[in-house]
Structure 1
Amino acid sequence: MKHNKLHNIEETGFKVPDDYFNALEDVILSDIKLKKMSSNSGFKLPEDYFNTLENAIIDKVSTKTSTKVIPLFRKRTLIYISGIAATVLLLFNLSIFENKPTFNSLDFETVENYIMNENIGSYEIAALLSEEDLLEENFIDYQVEEETVEIYILDNIDVEDIIIE
């Protein structure tokens, strides 16, 4: 339908700005004056500038100046630090700071608490003793004082355990 009315169009749809043709002559003359004035811009190039420009750039780029490279890790410093680290590691592995306890330095209370708290039975204790330690002669010759027995009874046995019902 739109194509049927194309031959009957009376307006083109384009408009000319107001006073366009009155001011057109002034615009063209001002452009001509500007072009005349801009022919002499005030900047001058040296003679044969563009002929020698390529060679000058290549000369500046191609000259390689050697720069001194300072390494971050020198071999001597690296060996020195690794030697210190190895010494400290060896010092801790040799257990110089560790005091090993001896049997004489243990208290009887410490051993008794360990046996009570760790649920060590009589078979485990017997496995630690040799046949010579379990001979009857070792138990016959052992003398226990009355005072020691009293102190043990008072410290370890409750009165309720002693009273018979």
Structure 2
Amino acid sequence: MDKETKNITDFINQKTGKNTGFLIPENYFDELEDNFTSEITIRSLSKKEVFTTPSNYFNTVENTILTKLDITTSKETKVISLQKRILQFVPLSAAAAVLLFIGLNYFNTNNTNTFDDITYTEITSWYENGYGETNNTDLATFLESEDFEDDFLTSINDNNLENYIDNIDEATFINEIE
């Protein structure tokens, strides 16, 4: 019979969608003792009011505190203008900047460069980067005839000259002609 009862309850539970007949909240037994003791504590407290406040206490508390502190709201505060202070330092800072500029330029005059300090590679890179332009008359004034050796023109053979002309870029050649 026990088996029949179990089958009947399982059938009813399937039709109703319930697993058991009774439901309890989750963690009910874990919190039961705490709930029970807190209920007993609340019931044991007295119901009479222990603390009382005077009538209109919360309406007048702010004024009472202010009168005890003796703070007057009409006290005038002194305002210091920052604009006047800043304008006092503007001429001073301008004079300091001028003195600093003059001093730095005066003490850095011992660094003078001469033409002897310039190297051949610096001059070459200057002309290669397009910073200088010269023509034949300018070169002729600076170069003396002694700078050229007599065998300079005879040392160029025809094969080297043909290779130079064959390998030259046409755009470069046109630029040299102009």
> Normalised by the size of structure 1, how large is the TM-score?
0.35
Q: TM-score, normalised by structure 2?
A: 0.34
Return the index of the structure with the highest Cα Rg: 1
Structure with higher helix content? 2
Higher relative contact order (CA 8 A, sep 6+): 2
